[in-house]
Structure formats: structure tokens, C-alpha cells
Structure 1
Amino acid sequence: MKVAVVGAGWAGISAAVALADAGHDIAVFEMAPQAGGRARSVAGEPDYDNGQHILIGAYRDSLALMRHLGADPEQVLKRLPLALPYPGEPGLCLPPGPPLIAFARGVLAHGGWPLSARLGLLAAAGSWLARGFRCDPRLSVAELCAGLPGPVKRDLVEPLCVAALNTPAPQASAQVFLRVLKDALFSGAGSADLLLPRRPLSELLAGPATAWLGKRLRLGQRVQRLESGWRVDGEAFDAVVLACTSVEAARLANSIAPDWAATAQALRFEPIITVYLNSPGSALPAPMLALREGPDAPAQFVFDHGQLGGAPGRFAFVVSGAAPWVDRGGCAEAVLAQAQRELRWVTPPVVDKVLTEKRATFACTPGLARPPARIAPGLWAAGDYVDGPYPATLEGAVRAGLAAAQGVGADAATGAGAKGAASGSPTNTP
């Protein structure tokens, strides 16, 4: 078939590669001058990434896609055991080994928590495991973890929640958080390992995908209209995958599937701010440190790019769930003050660059209605926002792309495609 993929972020790349491998004739439309979506290097400044990204060992589909396109994860990612050290504190560190045993050993060895806090966390984790990591979908993370000891909530639950869901614990979905914990901590040896980029972000996927797709990738081309049949800006296709943002997908699908478009349009967003500081000669005690967030301390994590193959003396401070700081302003100055208070510097740090992604992720709230992947026969959505068990992560985007490609193939096998849509088949089948 001839298939259009609208969007060349990680979801679109995933869908395009799967469709091409299945023998389909594809065209990938990308409105930006480069592929990669939100997970890419800054256009014109490849040494800077559009925000600091982390992968984990459980991201098997993302790692497989990188290998398929010729990027070796062992070369472009630095693998570290899951550790959440704080300035001057070792924090939680998981040793290698079977996941359940490693988690128990890591928690019991955490000298910064009283024994009662360590035992309380293990008891709660055992309860979650016994329930299959499921809970009432109306619960927030704060409600789920209300009975946990204070140090555990402060040093583990809250930073993990905002890092994975980009939504503060009082507003974040407990069900999605539990799924993240299940996959990261209990799905196999190495699944919780941190994989930190040690090359510019575009070299992980966007660059290799651009070379692999070749002339099938149409950069700098924003799709203006989508018509039943399927016609993309007047060009006929047999099927279409909308792998653009939820906002763009809703715009394009509105006349075809208004109910689907309304669900996509109803999603709210959470921003992420990345503040790059420069301090020649300085280094952190580890490639990544967790930081304690507060009213005057925006950042939850800091990364030492000098230890990750990047520019020595450059540090990326990440402010997730950053809506309050977008509203009030002054984030860069507050991060600089936080850095000066909490870390040691050889030379005075200065603000190098500030990147604000106002629609970094959807707000992952309890009971959230997310649009289904299938919009209409022959029309699929692929993105980290579509209905599923994961928050807005790179792995969620890649899996959504794979699912959309499989859906296109399934529609073709049953004869539901452009012909079915044009004849008035249902347009919002879950």
C-alpha cells in the first residue's frame, strides 16, 4: 500500500520503519526542518539537546529500533545502575541481579533512611506486587503513597513520579505510575538501568532515521488538510498514520472523526524547562544527581555533560512539571541560586542557555481519557498521548508507532482502508 506518515518524531519514525519493512510504499511528512520531534538536538546548535532525556533498560522497543537503524546503544548511551544520589548523600542505588532481590537489597542498604522507612517501602512494594501493580484508576500518586514514610516519598516517589510522568505526585495518575514501576523495577535484570545519552540526542534516532528513510522523508512540509479517501494535501494514499502532536492530529482529523478530535483536543500539557549552566573546571560527583525541589529550588535533577561525552563544564538542570515556573518566571535565576547553594564549583557557574518546552508531555492525571489509536478504517494515530498504559515517554511513542503500523496492516487484511473510509465506515472505533 501507499501510506502517509504525518510526523517524524520517535512515534512517526517507528511507524515508518515498520511499514517500510512490511513492504509498503511510505511518505513521511515533517513540518520541522529536522526529524526527531521533541527528542532531538537543537536546530543549528547540535551540541545542545532540546531538553535532557533519559532512557531505561526496559525500553526494549526503542533500543531495538536504534539498532535497526544503525545506532549502537552501547556506543551512544551510558548505562548505569539505577541510583538517585543527592549532593553529599549516596541515596538509593540498586545492585545488579534479579529485580526483586536487587530492589530489596538496594532499599535495605539505604543508610540515609531509618529502618522503619526501608521496611515500610518494602511492605508497600510487596502489596503493589501482590495486586499486579493495579489500583483504583481515580487515585493520585500522592494518595497511593500517603502511608509511606516521609523520607521515601521525598527522596524516591516524588522525584521518580515527576521524572516519569512529568506531573507532580498530587495530580499524577497512580495507575500509570505503578505500571512504570512494574516495567522499570520488576520486569527483568537491567530493566531499571539508566541509559544516559553520551552523544547529541539526534544521533540516537533522528539522524540515523533521516539517512535510512532518504527521499521518503519530506522535511519542512506541514500537512494542511486530510480528506477521506485518503488524500493528504491532495495526494492520494491507501492509509494514513497521524504521528504528529495531539494538537495537529486533532486539527487534521476534526472533519473526519470529530469525537476523536475532541478527546485529543481536551488533553492538557505539562512543560519542562532545561537550564544549562557553564562552569569550566567543575564536575559533579556522578553523571546525574537528584535535587530536592522547593519553593525556591525548581530543579529535580542535574546532569554533568562532561561525564557523558559532551562539553566539559556544562550542566543540564531539569525542571519537570514546570507550569508554576512558566507562569511566575525567573526559573533560570532560581536554578542558578539553587546550584550555588547545593553544589561545589571550581569556577562560578553562569547561565548558558534556557530551553522551555511548553507542551513537553500531556498531564498524566487520574482517570484521564486518552484518544484511541484507531481513528477510522485506514487512519491511525501514533504518539505518546494515545490510549495506553504508559506516560509520555520515548518508549511509549515507539510502541505507539509500532501499534499503528500493525493496525494499518490489519485494516488492509480485512479490506478496511481508504475504500472503507470513503464509503462511510465507523470513524471512531476503539
Structure 2
Amino acid sequence: MTSALRVAIVGGGWAGLAAAVEASALGHQVTLAEMAPSLGGRARRLPASVDGLALDNGQHILIGAYSATLSLLRTVGVDERTVLQRRPLTLIDAQGHGLSLPRGPALPGFVRGVLSARGWSLRERMALLCTTGGWLLRGFRCDERLTVADLTASLPATLRRALIEPLCVAALNTPAQQASAQVFLRVLRDALFAGPGASDLLLPRVDLGALWPDAAATWLRTRDAVLHTGRRVNAIAPDTGGWQVDGERFDRVVLACSAVEAARLAAPHAPAWAELAAALRYEPIVTVLLHASGARLPAPMLALDARDAVSPAQYVFDLGQLRDPAREPGATGTLAFVISGAADAVVRGLDATAEAVRLQATAQLGRCLPSEPRLLRVLSEKRATFLCTPGLRRPGGSIAPGLLAAGDYIDGPYPATLEGAMRAGQAAAQALPPTKLPHEPPASRSGP
């Protein structure tokens, strides 16, 4: 055991806050610096609201397999039942076609869900069961050079378009033609076959700030952590047994900022690590918010038939069924359309993309929209996630002695997800030397 360390965390996104909470829980003294004016990183609440509705920078979901995320939420006092709506995995369209899993054991539930799926022929359902059974027998492993398109080429085209491609782009934010089949299989294994509840959808009932960053910041301040926003770290430098962060000495430093910022700060001290971080390529996510008076979807989340520029959105969320209308009246009738893997949409222009989504909504949601939808806002996160391609080399969590990294891009089994960020933050904090916590009893002594 050692005395408490002074730990600097550069970055206040989900990974940085996870590292800060874990390090503080382990007894260390935490100082966190975030360059943006608010905490949350790429999953945050925006400053401005619309009609009393708090807006996020994009629509995010969690799943029941996100064990690190759920554990950290409990640590800072967040009640899952209050902030998340838990539902069995349901990937259906407005007509009820698609996959809906029942509650209960994972493998029997998946088989029952596939066999009862509406809109798929018996041949298509049996093909999906045979293919996934093969993945299961092979331990969800495959040639690391394969893309998701390669992996699923034998499946009927209807299944690829209606299930595999939207599921891939939602999980990896990478089109199936480019996405790593091995990472996709790992996500499927943990989500669909990891046990009861692992595949459940956890849809936020609150804005992203209220979901994690606000509670984490409050918890940290009660433990004397120092949190700075609007502060960019200019440089770090090794000091005897520690590091200087803009001239202030710390025992350890965790770079939990973006890969671009981390590469800039690490380059003078670990050029090979910085080169890997700087080489990552990115894919945007676009969210189009529409409002239609009286609109209500059959479920809080529906799958859409995405067909490139004509119908670009893969999923739509009914915020009126997720947010509290008494507290946020603007949620009723507001629909959030998500375009993952949105590079082409950004190239076409956000105005053209928003109009395409509005026409897509009218065509595919039918009677769910009793009035003409109007555009509220278009949100674009240009560097939403890294492109998760086959054989991608990602930087590790250790940069140099006493210098660690945390972020959804750090090497690991998951793509760029909230769970990946939280796990990386936890891992960075757990790599710190253990300290004797103040509340621990003194070690027992032997003898008189």
C-alpha cells in the first residue's frame, strides 16, 4: 500500500469521469481538466434547449451487458430505474416486422425471437439460426481480416439489409463493408448470449448530462476532487517520479481526452504510441430532430429501412415516450432520427440530409404521424467514433511510466461505445498503485 497519489486526468468525457471516480474511490487525490465548457465529451447535454426539451449532441443507447457503466452509475448514486428504460431487445419497424427477443435465458430466447420474427420467411429465419449457430460453435471467432459484409455474405439479402447492416452500423458506427467482423462478433456474443438481461435495451429517460456527468461531478466534489472546465492542457513533461501538467506536479497522469489531443500531448514522450493514436480514422453520426403534433410511435425505438441518400436514417426514437412530459413538455411529438456511419450524409450537406429524413419519416411512419413533421434541429458529431476496420491497431492504455491513457479508442474488445470508454477509464485508475483508504481499519498486530 502507498499513500494517496496526486492524479491528473486530462479530459472530462465518460472515460475521464470513470477514471476520476474509480481513482477517487481507491483513495487518490484527483484533479480533472476538461477543455470544453461542460463535462460529457461526445455524449453530452447541449447548452440550449428547444421548447423546454434538453437536447443531447446525439441519441445514445446502452444495453444490459454494459456492466462497467451500470456499476459506475451505482457508485455515484444513480438509480438505473430512474434514468434508464429497460426493454427486451426489439428491432422492429413501424409495421412490427423484425426481431424482438423475449425475456429469459439468452440462447433459448434468441431462438424463440428469430422463429417468431414477423416479415421474414421461414427460409430466412432458419438461415439466421444456422449462421449464428456456427458463430456460437466457433466461439464467436473469425479471421481478423474479414469485414462484416464478408462474414454475412451467405445470409439472404433481406436479412442483411433489415438486421445485419443496421445492427452493425449501430454497434460499430462503421458500414458493414468496412467493419471488423471479429469486433462485431464480440459485441453480438456479449449482447445476445451473455446471460439474462444482457441484450436488453437501456434507453435514457433523461438527457445525457443527467445520466452520468452531473452525478459523477457531484460525487467527485464531495470527495475533494478538483474539476476544471474550459481548461485545455498545453503540455506535459516528466518530473522525478511523476509528471508536470502545465507546470503543476502530479504523481500520475491519465490522458482521457480525444485521441487527437492525447497524441499531441504524448508525442514528445512516446512517439510510437502517439503515431497509433493519430492514425485513427473517424466516422460521423448525424441526428435529425423532427416534431409532429400528436406523433406517437408503436415503441420508443423503431428500426427504419435505410437506403442511402433517399432514406438515410437507420433508427428513430420517440422522445415523448422516454422523457417526462411533465418536466419536458417539448418531448411530446419529438422524434430523433439517427444516421450512423454518416460520412456520405455529411458530404451531401446537413440541409439536404434533414429533408431526406423528413420525407423518409412521412413515407415509413405513416399513421404514426398525424401531422406534417417539421425540422427542429440537425446535430452532427463529425468525429463520433473511430472507424472499426479489420486488423485495426489501437493504442494501449499504458503510454510511459506514470502516464496512462483512457478512452473508447484504447485497445480492447469493444468498438467505440460508452461501455468501452467506461471500461478504459476504470482500467486506467486500477493501474495506479493501491492506496490505503481512510475508512479501512488499521492492520492487526500480533504479540502483546
Following superposition, the deviation at residue 70 of structure 1 comes to 1.4
Q: What residue number does 2:40 align with?
A: 36
Return the TM-score normalized by structure 2: 0.90
2:252 to 231, 239, 242: 239
- For the residues of structure 1 that align with 2:374 and 2:9, how far apart are their CA atoms? 42
Confirm or deny that 1:306 pairs with 2:320: yes
Structure 2 gap segments, 5+ residues each: 325-330, 437-448
Cα drift, residue 43 of structure 1 = 2.0
TM-fit CA distance, 1:154? 1.4
- Given that residues 380 and 408 in structure 1 are in contact (C-alpha distance below 8 angstroms), is that contact kept between their aligned partners in structure 2? no
Equivalence for 1:291: 304
- What is the alpha-carbon root mean square deviation over aligned residues? 1.3
Q: Structure 1: which 5+ runs fail to align? A: 414-430
- State which of 343, 346, 360 in structure 2 corresponds to 1:338: 360
Mapping of residues 118-197 of structure 1, within 5 Å = 118-197=125-204
Letter in 2 for 1:325: A
Q: CA deviation at 1:210?
A: 1.6
Q: Which moved more, 1:145-154 or 1:40-49?
A: 40-49
Distance 2:74 2:21 in 1: 12
Could you report, residue by residue, the CA deviation over 1:80-99 in whole angstroms, capped at 9, with x for unpaired residues?
A: 11011112133210011110
1:202 match: 209
Contact map agreement 1:250 1:262 (CA 8 A) in 2: yes
SS for the counterpart of 1:251 is helix
Q: How does 1:64-103 map to 2 (within 5 A)?
A: 64-103=71-110
The match for 2:344 is: 324
Contact 1:379 1:408 in 2 (8 A): no
Check the 8 A contact 1:279/1:350 in 2, yes or no: yes
One-letter amino acid of the structure 2 residue matched with residue 23 of structure 1 = G
Contact persistence 1:374–1:407 (CA under 8 A): no
Residues 1:402 and 2:426 are matched in the alignment: yes
- Asked whether the 8 Å contact 2:283–2:383 carries over to 1, the reply is yes
The more displaced of 44-53 and 13-22 is: 44-53
Correspondent of 1:260 among 273, 281, 293? 273
Q: Provide Cα deviations, 1:268-314, integer angstroms capped at 9, x if missing partner.
A: 00000000001121111111110111131110000000011251011
Q: Structure 1 residue 409: deviation in Å? A: 2.5
Residue 155 of structure 1 deviates from its aligned partner by 1.5
Contact conserved, 2:24 with 2:220, CA < 8 A, in 1? no
CA distance in 2 between partners of 1:71 and 1:90 (Å): 35
Aligned-partner Cα distance in 2 for 1:19–1:211: 15
Alpha-carbon distance in structure 2 between the residues aligned to 1:25 and 1:201: 26
What displacement does 1:377 show?
Answer: 1.1
Local SS of the residue matching 2:427? helix
| Superposed displacement of residue 385, structure 1 | 0.2
Verify the 8 A CA contact 2:255 2:404 in the aligned structure 1: yes
Shift of 1:111: 3.0
How far apart, in 1, do the equivalents of 2:232 and 2:118 lie? 54
> How many residues are treated as equivalent by the alignment?
412
Query: Could you tell me which residue of structure 1 aligns to residue 443 of structure 2?
Result: none
Structure-2 separation of matches of 1:154 and 1:184: 20
Q: Percent identity?
A: 58
Task: Give the conservation status (yes or no) of the 8 Å contact 1:39–1:50.
Answer: yes
What is the rounded CA distance, in whole Å, between the counterparts of 1:340 and 1:156 in structure 2?
22
TM-score, normalisation: structure 1: 0.94
CA contact 2:96–2:118 (8 Å) conserved in 1: no
Q: What residue in structure 1 maps to residue 114 of structure 2? A: 107
